[in-house]
Structure formats: C-alpha cells, structure tokens
Amino acid sequence: MAQHTVTVRGLVRQFGPRRVLDDLDLVVRQGEFVALLGRSGSGKSTLLRILAGLDRDADGEIAVDGTVSVAFQQPRLLPWRRVWRNVSLGLHGVDGREVAEKALAEVQLTDHAQAWPLTLSGGEAQRVSLARALVREPDLLLLDEPFGALDALTRLAMHRLVDDLWQRHRPAVLLVTHDVDEALELADRVLVLDEGRIVAEHTPPAGRPRRHADLTELRARVLADLGVVTDEAA
Amino acid sequence: MSIPVLTADRTRVSSAAVTPTRKPRRRALSGAWRWASPVALLLLWQVTSSTGILPDDKLSSPAKVLAAGVDLATSGQLGDAFVVSLRRVLIGVAVGAVIALALGITAGLSRWGAVLVDPPVQMLRTLPFLGLIPLFIIWFGIGEEPKIALVALGFAFPLYLNVYAGIRDTDPQLLEATAVLGFTRWERLAHVVLPAALPQALVGLRQGLGVAWLSLIVGEQINADAGLGYLINNARDFLRTDQVVVGLVVYAGLGLATDALVRALEGRALRWRSTR
C-alpha cells in the first residue's frame, strides 16, 4: 500500500451557520501532485489552511505525515530581511547561507541573494517564496493559488518551474487554484470541490510536459463540473 | 529550463522603461536663491540695529549676538550650560523611552494590555502636560527632578502612540507565513512584529525628541541655577538681549542636531525601504 501523506476523513468546518467544508474526505499519496479546483467560496482555501495548521477549529480526522511548507498567493517575504535570509527562514534557526543559496539557484535567483525583497518583481518574489518553502525539504507542499497574482507570461514560466522542482524533489503537492489549464497541466489528479465536498475527480494523461491539444476534452469535462458550459461539451 | 523564467521577467521590465519623459515648462531656479531672503532679513536686522532704529535693549544686532556667543563660549559659561541642559534631556528621554516602550509593547501585543493600558494613556494625553508644572513642583520640588520629569512625559506620549500603532499594523499575513515555518510566539515577535513596528517607532522618536526640547525649555524656566534656561533668564535680568539670542540659537541647533541624528538612524535601520 502506498504511504499517505495526507489523510482527511469527515472534515467539517463551520463559520457560524455556514458549512464551508461538509464531511470532506481526501487522500494525498506520497509524492503525488494533486490539484484542487473550485469556484471562489467553495472552501478550497479553507481546506488548505486547515492542512497548514493555520485553522485549528475544524472537526474530523486530519492526519498529515511529515514536514509541511506553504507558498501563498502573495509571496509574504519579510521586507527587512535580504532575499537569502528570507529563504533561510525556512530552515528555522539554522543559519544556512549555503543551503539558501542552493535553493535560490534552483529558482534561478542566485544573483539576487543579497537583494532586498522590495526590489524584486512579482515573479521573482514568488520564486523566492517557493525557494523558502522548498528549502525545508517538505513532505507536503501546499500551494495556495501561488500564480494567481502574476501576469500571464510569468505564470507560464512558473508552471514549468514548479513542475521541474516537483520532479526533482518529489514532495506531495496540493495545489489550490481556479485555473483549469494550470491544474490539468501540472497535476496527477484533479479534484473539483463544490459546496464543501469533493464532487469530481479526473486523471490527466500521464506524460509530461503535457500538450494543450491532448487536454481539450478533459478540460471541457472539468469545466462542466465547475458549472461552465463550453462549445466542446455542448 | 531557465530561459522562459528570465524572458518573462525581462518583458515586464522593458515595458516599464519606455514611459515618455516630460519637459519642464520653466527653467529650474538654482537652490542658492533660497538663501536670498534669509540673508536679506539678516542684513535688514543689522542695518536697523546699527542706525539705532532697533534699540539694543529690545534686540541686539547680529554682530553683537555673534560677539556675545564667542564671549560666552570662551568663558566656558556656554559649554557648562550646554552640558547641564543636554544631561537633563538625555535622562528625561531615557526615562520616557523605558515607560513608552513598556506600555506601547504591552498594549500592542496583548488584548488585555490594549484594554487596560491604552484608555488611561489616551486620557492623560489630552491633558496639556505643560500645565502639570505646578503639580510637578509640589511633587518633585524645584531641583532637577521636575525638569527631567517634564522632558520624560513630553517625550513618552508620541513614542507610545507610534510604537502601539506600529505593532498593531503588523501584517497578519507575515505572521501566518512565519507560523507555518514553525516560529514560536517569541520568535515572531523578534523577527516580524518588532521590525514591522520600527518605521513607525522611529517617527515617534523624532516627534518625541521635538517635544522633549520644548519641554526642556519650559522646564528650565523653573528656578534653574544652571543650564541654558538659567543663562537666558540671567541675561534677561541684565537686559542682555544678545545673550538671550545666543541661548535661543543653541536651543535651535540642538533641536536640529537631534533631528539629523534620528534621520541618520532611520536611513541606516530602514535601508530595506529606500531601495524601492
């Protein structure tokens, strides 16, 4: 039996009268790349915050095996620490200049190690944030719409980078997004969340990198799950 | 693999660099012209004094003020007075800083601290604190203590308000990001909350020092037997307006010097902001 990095059973999260997560089950296997799609308000970010340990008011069985790292939609770098120090924050206490620089090299930011975060572009800052998450060698990498605030060109480059880093380090990944193409391009498994439950599961073709043309039909089905009718589905 | 990432970022930069430049409509005046009117006023002052229009016992001429300054400096009177006044400010600021930081950090970090500390401080702040002098004289007598207390009080309020506000404004997203990395409450305080509050705290420091000098000048009117205030009061008794002006100029210089010091401190501590 494959090891499970995330095991969630009967998860309920209530905000007042509203059930944001309603008896949700989820399993993420070791090294598996899972994308979680959903409209805004579907509870996907709530689920990620619970797995990150930022929300402790949920009921149900939640088991996460190993180290967890998070990359948020905003890079959330400390502006008063130089770039490499922001990365070494991920090591927590260990003054790992060398390790930090190695992680920066992996996101092609070696030259910016000494820079202040406010001098970086949006894409660069987000890559530092990725380096900070990866430097911990996490067993589970949580990505909360990390490309949502980037322009289209930078976003495409980031997809390639994340794919590359995942193949090299093999953490289990849970990517929360509302971008269907992103999910289909990157994930082993695509889950659709609606009204606090997982309502559909899709498996894109195994090869990587995936060609856009091979995904057209699947894309239409996922969009239909999300309540969007396209020409292909009609 | 590295190519798409780099090209994407370059595209962003180059598009920002082509903003059209606008020609200024009028030729800029040399900065030296800003000195023209102050120098003219100084000359006017000297001329009115020399011709007797401005009598010496109302206001001495700039030349006489300069001479009096040199006199007081060489006799050592000015230096002694300067040291006494500076000492009062330094002790007062130190006492005020301890109080303001303790209260500001307590109120900023804990909900109970905010509920219990902030209301009384806000109420006291509305008191015109220079009006407390009669009480201070009753409590502390007429020695050094009421002068130092006045400086400490004047300095503490602006610093408290800014430290409190600075801590409160810490970005909760940064606190979350470090919590995920396993930072404890104290580590988050050291790495996130205090650095985040620093810019605002330095604004408070600058405001507070301005008030501290003002408090000193007023406090030194209380039966002083040393210091710049004593020097000025003494000069007044002998209608030495030249010496009064010397004292005022030194006060002004001290205020400017401390301001420059804090600015330098800001430039050093807030390097990460200036590179934007």
Work out the minimum CA distance from A116 to partner chain B, whole angstroms: 6
CB pair distance less than 8 Å for B173 and A89: no
Average pLDDT, chain B: 87
Question: Which is nearest to B101 in space by CA: B192, B27, B194, B181?
Answer: B194
Pair (A191, A207) in one structural domain: yes
Pair (A38, A13) in one structural domain: yes
Q: Which of A74, A78, A109 to mutate to test the interface with B (most CBs of B within 10 A)?
A: A78
Hey, which residues 155-184 in chain A have their CB within 8 Å of chain B? 156-158, 160-161, 164
Asked if A127 has any chain B CB less than 8 Å from its own CB, the reply is yes
Q: For chain A, state the CA radius of gyration.
A: 18
Q: What are phi and psi of B160, to 5 degrees?
A: -55, -50
What are the beta bridge partners of residue A144?
A176
Residue type, B92: G
Work out the minimum CA distance from B108 to partner chain A, whole angstroms: 20
What are the beta bridge partners of residue A8?
A26, A62
Pair (A96, A212) in one structural domain: no
Q: What is the number of other CB atoms lying within 10 angstroms of the CB of residue A46? A: 22
CB pair distance less than 8 Å for B8 and A157: yes
User: Per-residue pLDDT for A209 more than 80?
Assistant: no
Pair (A62, A113) in one structural domain: no
Q: Which sign, positive or negative, has the C-alpha torsion A191, A195, A197, A200? A: negative
Pair (A171, A225) in one structural domain: yes
Residues of A in contact with B273 (CB under 8 A): 79, 118
User: Per-residue pLDDT for A97 more than 70?
Assistant: yes
Q: Give the mean model confidence (pLDDT) for residues A188-205.
A: 90
Hey, is A75 helix, strand or coil?
coil
Q: Could you say which of A137, A156, A188 is where a domain stops?
A: A137
Over residues B110-139, the pLDDT tens digits come to 889 999 999 999 999 888 888 888 999 999
Q: Which of B171, B180, B193, B202 to mutate to test the interface with A (most CBs of A within 10 A)?
A: B180
Rounded Cα distance, A6 and A29, in Å = 7
Question: Which CATH number does the domain housing residue A189 bear?
Answer: 3.40.50.300
Q: Which residues are within 8 A (CB) of A37 and not within 5 positions of it... i.e. 6 or more apart?
A: A44, A177, A178, A180, A183, A190, A191, A192, A193, A222, A225, A226
Here the tokens at position A189 are 């498994």
Q: What are phi and psi of A207, to 5 degrees?
A: -65, 150
Residues of B in contact with A126 (CB under 8 A): none
CB pair distance less than 8 Å for B12 and A151: yes
Work out the minimum CA distance from B179 to partner chain A, whole angstroms: 8
Rounded Cα distance, A139 and A3, in Å = 11
> For residues A112-128, b (16+ Cβ closer than 10 Å) or e, as one string?
bbebbbeebbebbbbbb
- Count of domains for chain A: 2
User: Per-residue pLDDT for A106 more than 60?
Assistant: yes
What residues in chain B have per-residue pLDDT under 70?
1-25, 275-276
Pair (A213, A229) in one structural domain: yes
Q: What share of chain B is helix, strand, coil (3-state, %, to 5)?
A: 80, 0, 20
Pair (A62, A111) in one structural domain: no
Task: Look at residue A222 and tell me if it is in a domain.
Answer: yes
What ipTM did this prediction achieve? 0.87
pLDDT at position A95 is 67
Helix (H) or strand (E) holding A173: strand A172-177
Lowest mean pLDDT among A2-6, A81-85, B245-249: A2-6
Pair (A203, A89) in one structural domain: no
Rounded Cα distance, B48 and B39, in Å = 14
Hey, is A62 helix, strand or coil?
strand
CB A70, CB A134: distance < 8 Å: no
Query: Domain limits at A174?
Result: 1-66+167-234
Helix (H) or strand (E) holding A177: strand A172-177
- pLDDT-derived band at A39 (thresholds 50, 70, 90) equals confident
Rounded Cα distance, A163 and A185, in Å = 9
Pair (A41, A72) in one structural domain: no
**Beta strands A18-29; A4-15: pairing state:** antiparallel
Pair (A44, A88) in one structural domain: no
Work out the minimum CA distance from A132 to partner chain B, whole angstroms: 9
Pair (A53, A73) in one structural domain: no
CA atoms within 13 Å, Cβ hemisphere of B194 = 11
Q: Give the mean model confidence (pLDDT) for residues A144-172.
A: 89
**Domain ranges in chain B?**
61-274
Rounded Cα distance, A52 and A71, in Å = 10
Q: What are phi and psi of B201, to 5 degrees?
A: -60, -35
CB A91, CB A119: distance < 8 Å: no
Average pLDDT, chain A: 88
Work out the minimum CA distance from A13 to partner chain B, whole angstroms: 19
Hey, is A217 helix, strand or coil?
helix
Q: Give the mean model confidence (pLDDT) for residues A110-120.
A: 93
User: How far is Cα of residue A217 from the mean position of the Cα atoms in its chain?
Assistant: 24
Lowest mean pLDDT among A64-78, A140-154, A184-198, A211-225: A211-225
Task: Look at residue A154 and tell me if it is in a domain.
Answer: no
pLDDT at position A125 is 94
Task: Look at residue A155 and tell me if it is in a domain.
Answer: no
A160 → closest Cβ in B4, B173, B276: B4
Residues of A in contact with B196 (CB under 8 A): 80
CATH number assigned to the domain with residue range B61-274, chosen from the 4 options 3.10.180.10, 1.10.3720.10, 3.40.630.10, 3.40.50.970 = 1.10.3720.10
